[in-house]
Amino acid sequence: MRAKTKVHVEYEVFSAILDSECIADIIEDLKIELVPNNDTVAKKRFNEGVKSAAQYISNLMDRRVHRLPEKHPEYKSKE
């Protein structure tokens, strides 16, 4: 589907970030940097931070679904 609006592109970028194997690999590399071996507190903090960041991106996507092109599979009219 052709990019119809800036919001459409933003939505697709956020979706690609959440679905990307490359991003997942980068997050794993970041985990190695930020979480020492056997540090359960740092591991929990990292996992919660990743979950929170993913939820933040998901929320950004949710706020755009009513502005997607009507033929987009994820389009939902504003209630």
CB 35 within 8 A of CB 46: yes
Q: Please return the burial class of 11, using the count of CB atoms within 10 Å of its CB with bins 0-12, 13-18 and 19+.
A: buried
Q: What is the pLDDT of residue 55?
A: 98
Q: How many helices (H) and strands (E) does the chain have?
A: 3, 0
Is the model's pLDDT at 79 over the cut of 80?
no
Which of 75, 58, 59, 67 is CA-nearest to residue 19?
58
Is the model's pLDDT at 1 over the cut of 90?
no
Distance, first Cα to last Cα, the chain: 25
The string of pLDDT tens digits covering residues 51-74 is 999 999 999 999 999 999 999 999
The string of pLDDT tens digits covering residues 4-50 is 999 999 999 999 999 999 999 999 999 999 999 999 999 999 999 99
Q: What is the pLDDT of residue 4?
A: 94
